Structures are given as structure tokens and as C-alpha cells.
């Protein structure tokens, strides 16, 4: 039996759990030969070896390429390593660290970055800049159908910050065949799939706001929508250029919306007047302003009485009153996509039905929750 220098968790000397002479040499598959750990002094570690100390540490105790010293033997055996691999790869075999670099390169589209130092055979994929994360979900599934590789991501259409982790990838075995690696890369780089992961930058749009409602116009209640809308715009770099409060008058609403369209407006937002009450005429006014495309209602709660339309490339959103009472609504799902240059339509609004029910969690965890994740 041999004794290691000092136990890292108790500070006492412990005996190794296994006789150093008991391991037998074996070979599991081509390219790798196993040797008893007792005979590993002077060899180099073939892959990261993980150590877990519950509540204290999880990470590589030994990194690929580390030279094994005599004093490392007992540490390795305490980690359950009675044998170590010796690498003797053939030309069509790729080590996991080299393979994962190729996988990450194939997966990463514009706005996605990764380090050049795999850890335990994995690489984290990160956002290079703030924007809207785009995942080609069907292609991601196809990629994961290839044996011996994997990639996992957060949800599509998630607003992300610079440096945020958005995914990770690895080769499953220590050594992967070139043919399987090439299959995975081909899926990721196929012209119909690429980019599999990317980040669309937010455009600093100039926004104008029409606040409607007789009760606000006449000063019976104070408007709260302006502050809510402005705060949501600012976090994505957009600016509220102008706002006006109008009564429930469709002609006045139509006239002001047309006036805004003639300015340097890049988005119009209206608030209130979206329900089925006879006095709620905001969407009538929007329609009279002459938009090319209008969609009323969404499969989202809160936010079912939502309006989305376009005049050329200028979007208009009609926000229902739920935006005053709920921190997160349909507005928070559609706004980032518009600022990223997308034009969601009727089917996009319908697709939000899967994941479109807000659970009103307290405290709110959005966007780290299921809301809007289809």
C-alpha cells in the first residue's frame, strides 16, 4: 500500500484505497492503451480528470498533458483511477479536445464566440455582443442525431448580454472517429442550416408612442404606460423620440399615426384601447392609418389582445392594458425581435402558444423561465 502526501479535505494522511500493484493493463479500443496507474509515472495525462468534493470543488484535478509524478499516484487512485490511458491515435481518430474545437467552430455563427481552451472536453459558446439569440432548432436536433457529439443551448429568441453563456458542445468519447466528426460538422455548416447559433444585434430604433384613453386625456388618471415603455426600450438601446396622449377618437389616432409615419420614425407603439369595449377604438384608428399588414390577438397570456402590424418596414404595436398590471407580457417577447430586424407574423404569434402562459412567479425570473419559450 502507498500513502499520499496529505488529504485535501481533512488535512490528514490517508491510505490509498487500492493496492497500486493490483491494476492490470488492458486496451478498450483502437488508439488507446490502458496502463496500471502504478506504472504511469513519467507519462502524460491523456484527458482532463475530474475531481468532485461536494460543496467545495468540481473541476479538473489533472489536465490533459500533465506529467504524472510519483506523488500523483495516490491522488489518482483516490479519484478511482486504477488505470490510465496512453494515447496512440491513428490518423482517422481525433482526441476530444481537438474535436470539440472543430465542433464549436462549426456551430458558432455571427455573434458567437468560444475560448481556445477546452475544459474536460467541453467548450462554452458565448454571445460576443448584446442581441437576440437565434437557434436553428431543427438543425440543432439533426446535429445531436450524429453519434458521439452533442450540443445544448438556451432557448431561441432569448435576449442575451455580451459574454453570456448560450450553449456548450463536446465530443462524447475521449476519441472520436473522423467520419462522425465530419458528419456533425457537415450538418452545422450546411447552407440550409447555417448559422446554427448566432446573435442578431439590436437596432437603436427611433420610437414614437401614442397613449390613448379618455380618462388619461382628460386627466382623470395619470398615465403610467410611458415610463414602462421607455424603460423597456432603453434596455435594448432604442429611444423614445416623442409621445402624445389622445382621447378614444379613431380619427385623431389615425391622423397622429400617419404624422408619425411621415417622420423619421422606425417603430410606433400605441397603448390602451385594445379590448372589445365599444369605447376602445385604438385598433380602428391604426387600421385607418393605412398599414400593409395587421394582426390582432396573440396566443399569449398576458397579452391576448395585442396588435402587430407593418407599414413597409415600420412596425406598429398596440399594447393592451395588461401591460400596466403585469411586469412581463407579450410586449417583452415581440419587442426584442422587432429591434433585431425581424418581422413576426400571424404564425409567429400563434407559435407562442407553446410557452405563452406566464405563471406570474414571485419573484419574476424572466427570461430565465418557460414564458415565451416555444
Q: Write phi, then psi, for 167 (nearest 5 degrees).
A: -175, 180
Q: What are the pLDDT digits (tens) for 53-80? A: 998 888 888 888 788 898 888 999 998 8
* HSE-CB for 109 with a 13 A CA cutoff: 19
Q: Tell me the C-alpha distance between 195 and 186, whole Å.
A: 12
Residue 27: pLDDT over 80: no
**294 pLDDT exceeds 80?**
yes
Which of 50 and 357 is assigned the larger pLDDT?
Answer: 357
Is residue 251 scored above 90 in pLDDT?
A: yes
Grid cell for residue 261: 409615419
Q: Does the pLDDT of residue 5 top 60, yes or no?
A: no
Strand partners, 87: 32
Report the length, in residues, of the chain: 374
Instruction: Provide the percentage of residues in the chain whose pLDDT is more than 90.
Output: 72
Cα(259)–Cα(353) distance, rounded to whole angstroms?
35
Is the predicted pLDDT of residue 169 greater than 60, yes or no? Answer: yes
Considering only residues 322 and 14, tell me which one the structure prediction assigns the higher pLDDT.
322
Which option is the CATH number for 93-200: 3.40.50.300, 3.90.1170.30, 3.40.50.620, 3.30.200.20?
3.90.1170.30
Q: Which overall architecture, per CATH, does domain 206-351 show?
A: 3-Layer(aba) Sandwich (3.40)
User: How many Cβ atoms are within 10 Å of 120's Cβ, its own excluded?
Assistant: 16
3-class SS of residue 351: helix
**Mean pLDDT lowest among 74-88, 219-233, 242-256:** 74-88
pLDDT attached to residue 31? 65
β-pairing, 93-95 with 112-113? unpaired
pLDDT attached to residue 18:
44
- List, for residues 85-101, the tens digit of each pLDDT value: 777 778 899 999 999 99
pLDDT computed for residue 30 by the predictor: 56
pLDDT at residue 342 is higher than 70: yes
pLDDT at residue 99 in the model: 96
Q: Which of 240, 303, 310, 247 is nearest to 273 (CA)?
A: 247
Q: What's the pTM?
A: 0.82
Q: How many CB atoms lie within 10 A of CB 118?
A: 24
d(CA 213, CA 180): 62
Q: Where are the domains of the chain?
A: 1-88, 93-200, 206-351
- What is the overall mean pLDDT for the chain? 90
- Which class for 56: exposed (0-12), middle (13-18), buried (19 or more C-beta within 10 A)? exposed
Amino acid at each position: 500500500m502507498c500513502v499520499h502526501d496529505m488529504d485535501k479535505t481533512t488535512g490528514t494522511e490517508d491510505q490509498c484505497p487500492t493496492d497500486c500493484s493490483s491494476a492490470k493493463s488492458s486496451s478498450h479500443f483502437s488508439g488507446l492503451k490502458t496502463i496500471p496507474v502504478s506504472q504511469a509515472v513519467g507519462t502524460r495525462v491523456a484527458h482532463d480528470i475530474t475531481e468532485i468534493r461536494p460543496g467545495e470543488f468540481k473541476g479538473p484535478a489533472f489536465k490533459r498533458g500533465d506529467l504524472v509524478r510519483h506523488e500523483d499516484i495516490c491522488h489518482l487512485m483516490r479519484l478511482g483511477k486504477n488505470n490510465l490511458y496512453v494515447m496512440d491515435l491513428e490518423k482517422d481518430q481525433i482526441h476530444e479536445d481537438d474535436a470539440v474545437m472543430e465542433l464549436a467552430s462549426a456551430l458558432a455563427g455571427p455573434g458567437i464566440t468560444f475560448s481556445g481552451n477546452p475544459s474536460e472536453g467541453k467548450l462554452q459558446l458565448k454571445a460576443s455582443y448584446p442581441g437576440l439569440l437565434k437557434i436553428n432548432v431543427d438543425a440543432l436536433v439533426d446535429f445531436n442525431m450524429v453519434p458521439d457529439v452533442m450540443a445544448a443551448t438556451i432557448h431561441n429568441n432569448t435576449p442575451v448580454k455580451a459574454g453570456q453563456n448560450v450553449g456548450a458542445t463536446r465530443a462524447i468519447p475521449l476519441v472520436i472517429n473522423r467520419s462522425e466528426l465530419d458528419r456533425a460538422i457537415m450538418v452545422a455548416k450546411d447552407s440550409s442550416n447555417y448559422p446554427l447559433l448566432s446573435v442578431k444585434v439590436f437596432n437603436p430604433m427611433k420610437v414614437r408612442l401614442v397613449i390613448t384613453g379618455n380618462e388619461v386625456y382628460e386627466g382623470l388618471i395619470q398615465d403610467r404606460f410611458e415610463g414602462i415603455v421607455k424603460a423597456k426600450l432603453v434596455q435594448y438601446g432604442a429611444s423614445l423620440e416623442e409621445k402624445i396622449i389622445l382621447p378614444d377618437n379613431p380619427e385623431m389616432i389615425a391622423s397622429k399615426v400617419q404624422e408619425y409615419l411621415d417622420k423619421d420614425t422606425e417603430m410606433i407603439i400605441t397603448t390602451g384601447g385594445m379590448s372589445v369595449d365599444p369605447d376602445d377604438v385604438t385598433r380602428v384608428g391604426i387600421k385607418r392609418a393605412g398599414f400593409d399588414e395587421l394582426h390582432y390577438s396573440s396566443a399569449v397570456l398576458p397579452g391576448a389582445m395585442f396588435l402587430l402590424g407593418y407599414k413597409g418596414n415600420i412596425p406598429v404595436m398596440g399594447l393592451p392594458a395588461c401591460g400596466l398590471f403585469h411586469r412581463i407580457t407579450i410586449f417583452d417577447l415581440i419587442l426584442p425581435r422587432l429591434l433585431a430586424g425581424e418581422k413576426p407574423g400571424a404564425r409567429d404569434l400563434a407559435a407562442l402558444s407553446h410557452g405563452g402562459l406566464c405563471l406570474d412567479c414571485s419573484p419574476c425570473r424572466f427570461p430565465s423561465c418557460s414564458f415565451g419559450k416555444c
